[in-house]
Amino acid sequence: MNENKIKDGIFLGKRYEVLSKIGAGGMADVYKGKDHMLNRYVAVKVLKREFREDSTFVRKFRSEAQAAAGLIHPNIVNVYDVGEDRGLYYMVMELVEGITLKEYIDRKKNLSSKEVISIAIQMCNGIEAAHERQIVHRDIKPHNVMISKDGKVKVTDFGIAKATTSTTVSTSAMGSVHYTSPEQARGGYVDIKSDIYSVGITLYEMVTGHVPFNGETAVEVAVKHLQDEITPPSELVPDIPYSLEQIILKCTQKNSERRYENMNALIQDLKHSLVDPEGDFVQMIPLNNADTVIITEDDLNDIRGVYTEEDSDDDYDYEDDEYDDGYSDDDDYDDSDEYDRYGDEVNPRMNKVMRVLTIVVAVLILIVLGVVVGRASGILKFGHGISAVDSEGGLKVPSVTGMKEGEAKTILEDAGLSCKVAARRQSKEFDEGCVIEQNPKEGKRVKKGAEVEIVVSSGRVAEEETVPDVAGMDEASAQKTLNDKGFSQVITEAVYSEETQGTVIGTEPVAGTVTAKNTEIKMLVSKGSEKITVPNVVGMSENDAKSEITNAGLQVSSVDTEYNESYEAGLVTRQEPSGGKVEKGTSVSLVVSLGKKPEEKPKVPSVIGTSESNAMQMIINAGLTPSDTTTYEASESVPAGCVISCSPGVGTELSKGDVVSLVVSTGWPSAPPAEEPGGSYGSEEEQ
Could you list the active site residues? 139
Cβ pair 397, 443 in contact under 8 A: yes
3-class secondary-structure state, position 92: strand
Q: What is the 3 state secondary structure string of 406-445?
A: HHHHHHHHHCCCEEEEEEEEEECCCCCCEEEEEECCCCCE
Query: Among positive and negative, which fits the CA dihedral 234, 239, 245, 248?
Result: negative
Among 414, 441, 407, 451, CA closest to 286? 407
Cα separation, 270 vs 54, whole angstroms: 42
- Strand blocks (E) in 166-246: none
CA 657 remoteness from chain centre:
90
- Residue 372, Cβ neighbours under 10 Å: how many? 11
Query: Among positive and negative, which fits the CA dihedral 459, 465, 471, 472?
Result: negative
DSSP of 487-537 = ---EEEEEE--SSPTTBEEEEESPTT-EEETTSPEEEEEE--SPEEEPP--
**Cα-only R_g, the chain:** 52
Cα atoms in the Cβ-side hemisphere of radius 13 Å centred on 489? 11
Cβ pair 172, 350 in contact under 8 A: yes
CA 352 remoteness from chain centre:
51
Residue 507, beta-bridge partner list: 523
